[in-house]
Amino acid sequence: MTRPKIDEIYVSVDVETDGPIPGPNSMLSIGAAAFMPSGEMISTFSGNLETLPDASGDPDTMKWWTTQASAWEAHRKNIRPPQEVMSNFISWVKSVAGPSKPVFVGYPAGFDFLFVYWYLIKFCKHSPFSFSALDIKTYASAVLKCGYRSVTKGSMPDRWFGKSPHTHEALDDAIEQGELFCNMLREHLSSNEEK
């Protein structure tokens, strides 16, 4: 089946890490789900990464992981070298985007994009997203016409949420937040068309 030509593909990305910053800490897992602007999910990607050789887990983060035993275990299965995972990620992004531009979507983008961009440049010298990332919370703040700090998932309308769970497993969370973003986007664009 041939997809209609569109300008953008939204790539919802979630990472799980053992600390707050890349380099001193490691990305454990990356999950991504590619969505058409209509909200149709067209493909997913996931990979678990070996930790960086000179990095170590942040004590507070590692303490939190002790409360998430099943998610931690999931992130430590089938681990692969970071260069392999990130190279495969780039290939996947390019294949799902085709002639369209891939848009990185995160919640919070400031955290997930920080890790993904750092790993892409360190191991592959290239980012298919350039320097840009779309933050779901920022978008919600604009749509809801309220202050950024007042926006939480609890303040968002129930209709924006899909059925996918938030499990702290990267792929599950990427799908969940991608559904949230696409529902928000579709509603916002349709309300603009009605004006």
Residue 3 forms part of a structural domain:
no
> What is the predicted pLDDT for the residue at 3?
46
- CATH number of the domain residue 106 falls in: 3.30.420.10
**pTM confidence score:** 0.92
What are the tens digits of pLDDT across the range 88-118? Answer: 999 999 999 999 999 999 999 999 999 999 9
d(CA 143, CA 195): 15
Residues 6+ apart with CB under 8 A from 108: 135, 136, 137
pLDDT of residue 157: 83
Q: Tell me if 1 is assigned to some domain.
A: no
Residue 51 in domain: yes
Tokens of 118: 């750092």
Catalytic position from the list 75, 126, 166, 168: 168
Domain span at residue 100? 8-194
Tell me 152's DSSP state. Answer: -
188 is catalytic: no
pLDDT in tens, 12-37: 999 999 999 999 999 999 999 999 98
